[in-house]
């Protein structure tokens, strides 16, 4: 993960393109530390851009890691704790964040993007929270950010099936704020919007962000911790092991509800 500064705008870039910028537990921990650093250390920063290298914005979690959670209580507990810390840090972050989605954003990768303030995306980028397809509850923010932006029925439709949408669909649903026609156009558009916000009176911008954070925090308080606890429970299930194994072996899974 790389941080660059251009005047009042800081750009945080996910830098693991060969791994599709997965948001595994180490990446979550690093992102949390970056957000904390920007809170306390970057005087003069008014806006943050979140971007990524490579063809994918983020592929979400690592399926192989999920398989290991079934037999490791400590790893499950740490994953739940980090997920809660990341979403709380993000939903209370005091500066506006403009996210640049140049490619697929899946699982936690999508939920991180939808928890920010402005989402610029290539119109054909694939977006999804496919937790249920690998036997897990949609716990790491999906049950918060999808209903708030897309509405409860659309959130149910896509969280209960794991079916993907395009960014163009996401724009119609309210999950994406700005569409561009090519992956190369995403970051320049995000930079343009970040510069516009950075040029405005900072107390007004930050006060507005604080008020919106209060609303998001109240909604997250209703469901985030519960959804992560439920996700942690499903990490230990036989169905999660079967789902991840079937995914890797490219075959249909056979599930027993255990």
Q: What is the DSSP string of 64-107?
A: HHHHHHTT-HHHHHHHHHHHHHHHHHHHT-SS-EEEEE-S-EET
Structure tokens at 172: 């119609």
Q: What is the pLDDT along the chain (258 residues), one digit of tens a residue?
A: 899 999 999 999 999 999 999 988 888 999 999 999 998 866 789 999 999 999 999 998 878 787 778 888 898 899 899 999 999 999 999 999 999 999 999 999 999 999 999 999 999 999 999 999 999 999 889 999 999 999 999 999 999 999 999 999 999 999 999 999 999 999 999 999 999 999 999 999 999 999 999 999 999 999 999 999 999 999 999 999 999 999 889 999 999 999
- 């979403």: which residue's tokens? 87
b/e per residue, 196-225, with b = 16+ CB within 10 A? Answer: ebbeeebeebeeebeeebeebeebbeeebb
3-state secondary structure of 156: helix
Angle CA(242)–CA(23)–CA(65) in degrees, nearest 5? Answer: 30
Contacts of 141 (CB under 8 A, 6+ apart): 83, 87, 108, 111, 112, 114, 115, 224
């Amino acid at each position: 993960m790389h941080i660059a500064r251009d005047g009042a705008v800081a750009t945080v870039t996910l830098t693991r393109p060969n791994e599709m910028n997965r948001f595994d537990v180490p990446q979550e921990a690093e992102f949390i530390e970056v957000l904390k650093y920007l809170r306390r250390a970057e005087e003069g920063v008014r806006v943050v851009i979140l971007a990524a290298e490579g063809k994918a914005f983020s592929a979400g979690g690592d399926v192989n890691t999920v398989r290991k959670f079934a037999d490791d209580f400590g790893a499950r507990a740490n994953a739940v704790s980090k997920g809660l810390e990341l979403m709380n840090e993000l939903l209370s972050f005091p500066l506006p964040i403009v996210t640049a989605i140049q490619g697929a954003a899946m699982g936690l990768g999508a939920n991180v993007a939808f928890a920010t303030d402005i989402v610029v995306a290539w119109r054909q980028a694939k977006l999804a929270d496919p937790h249920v397809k690998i036997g897990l509850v949609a716990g790491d923010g999906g049950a918060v950010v999808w209903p708030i932006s897309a509405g409860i029925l659309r959130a149910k439709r896509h969280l209960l099936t794991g079916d993907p949408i395009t960014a163009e669909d996401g724009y119609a649903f309210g999950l994406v704020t700005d569409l561009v026609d090519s992956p190369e156009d995403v970051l320049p558009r995000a930079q343009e919007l970040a510069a516009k916000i950075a040029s405005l009176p900072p107390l007004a911008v930050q006060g507005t962000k604080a008020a919106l954070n209060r609303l998001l925090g109240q909604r997250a308080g209703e469901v985030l911790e519960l959804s992560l606890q439920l996700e942690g429970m499903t990490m230990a299930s036989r169905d999660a092991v079967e789902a991840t194994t079937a995914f890797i072996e490219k075959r249909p899974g056979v599930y027993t509800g255990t």
